């Protein structure tokens, strides 16, 4: 596959992208430095390392993408890699419409001015985003990252460079519940991961957005899966699809951010949080991004 270049918008926040993809300090599936990002993934069943190099680490205007594949890639696999690059670089959602929308808002106006150009960075694939959402349910971030690393080493495949590729649904479907619970996964979490993998691998749950399979239909299908609730679906839509109107009212950090901004003694409950966020539809994803950033301006969720 030939190298390709992606243009980056003005005021592109490269640090945010690098920080999100460098969560795992052991660099099992991602290698990140100020000069480049290397991501292991499977494209059409072929182990691939996608190498992304910004033209300028301080104020980049473009990013060169080189694909190191352990085999020949089909046209569909090549397109998958290109789509992954867009997601990895956070180029799915343009933050400007929300900045304009919220410019005079008492709560979000100051936030957007404090974090100009803030973007939603995504996982390389929808399946990766959904499994990460399941892994991260109701546990702290450091433990979630440790479980993710274990998950990749158990189910993923290694590229010839040594970097591991995030597993596909077919790879995960080969695991058993005991494989996961023996490595600190709760039984409920293990069962949900395997249930999702089998449904996707068997073609019973379609994750591609098509004219016959809308985001709304995908959301409903995911909610019907035992162990997957509204928070997991919305987080998966955010990190997997770059969907612009995800409501993260069930997210504890979102509620904590609202508590701080409202100057209240307790976090708003979920119904009230949902009502507050509804005012910012169809830009609730960017609203969530700014709320997260208000708590930890330089930390990725």
Residue ranges per domain, the chain?
Answer: 4-91, 126-241
Question: Of 41, 53, 57, which Cα lies nearest the Cα of 161?
Answer: 41
Per-residue pLDDT tens over the stretch 3-18: 999 999 998 999 999 9
Q: What is the pTM of this model?
A: 0.93
Candidates 256, 257, 252, 238; CA nearest to 108 is 257
Architecture of 126-241 per CATH? Orthogonal Bundle (1.10)
Instruction: Please check the confidence at residue 67 and state whether its pLDDT lies above 70.
Output: yes
Q: Please give the CATH number for the structural domain made up of 4-91.
A: 3.30.310.20
- pLDDT at residue 300 is higher than 50: no
Whether the predicted pLDDT of 120 surpasses 70: yes
Q: How far apart are CA 211 and CA 213, in angstroms?
A: 6
Do the two domains 4-91 and 126-241 of this chain adopt the same fold?
Answer: no
What's the confidence (pLDDT) of residue 56? Answer: 94
Residues 268-292, mean pLDDT to the nearest whole number: 96
3-class secondary structure per residue, 94-112: CCHHHHHHCCCCCCHHHHH
**Tens-place pLDDT, residues 250-272:** 999 999 999 999 999 999 999 99
**H-run or E-run covering 196:** helix 187-201
Residue 212 confidence (pLDDT) above 60: yes
User: Are 249 and 283 a contacting pair, CB within 8 Å?
Assistant: no
Over residues 142-150, the mean pLDDT reads: 96
Q: Distance between CA 196 and CA 226 in Å, rounded?
A: 9
Of the chain, the percentage scoring pLDDT greater than 70 comes to 98
Torsion sign, CA atoms 236, 49, 24, 8? negative
Q: In angstroms, rounded to a whole number, what is the distance separating the alpha carbons of residues 76 and 266? A: 49
């Amino acid at each position: 596959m030939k190298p390709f270049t992606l243009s980056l918008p003005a005021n592109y926040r490269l640090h945010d992208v690098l920080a999100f993809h460098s969560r795992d300090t052991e660099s099992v599936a991602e290698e990140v430095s100020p000069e480049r990002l290397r991501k292991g993934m499977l494209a059409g069943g072929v182990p691939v390392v996608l190498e992304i190099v910004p033209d300028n680490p301080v104020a980049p205007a473009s990013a060169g993408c080189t694909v190191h594949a352990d085999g020949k890639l089909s046209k569909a696999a090549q397109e998958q890699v290109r789509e992954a690059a867009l997601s990895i670089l956070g180029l799915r959602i343009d933050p400007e419409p929300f900045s304009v929308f919220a410019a005079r808002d008492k709560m979000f106006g100051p936030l957007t001015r404090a974090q100009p150009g803030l973007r939603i960075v995504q996982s390389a694939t929808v399946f990766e985003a959904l499994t990460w959402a399941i892994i991260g349910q109701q546990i702290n971030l450091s433990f979630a990252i440790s479980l993710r690393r274990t998950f990749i080493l158990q189910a993923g495949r290694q590229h010839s460079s040594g970097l591991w590729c995030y597993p596909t649904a077919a790879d995960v479907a080969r695991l058993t519940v005991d494989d996961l619970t023996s490595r600190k996964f709760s039984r409920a979490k293990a069962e949900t991961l395997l249930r999702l993998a089998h449904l996707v691998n068997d073609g019973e749950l379609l994750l591609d957005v098509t004219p016959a399979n809308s985001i709304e239909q995908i959301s409903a299908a995911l909610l019907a899966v035992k162990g997957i609730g509204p928070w997991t679906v919305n987080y998966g839509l955010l990190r997997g699809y770059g969907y612009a109107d995800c409501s993260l009212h069930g997210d504890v950090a979102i509620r904590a951010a609202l508590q701080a901004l409202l100057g209240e003694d307790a976090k708003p409950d979920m119904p009230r949080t949902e009502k507050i966020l509804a005012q910012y539809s169809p830009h609730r994803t960017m609203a969530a991004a700014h709320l997260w950033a208000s708590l930890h301006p330089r930390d990725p969720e």
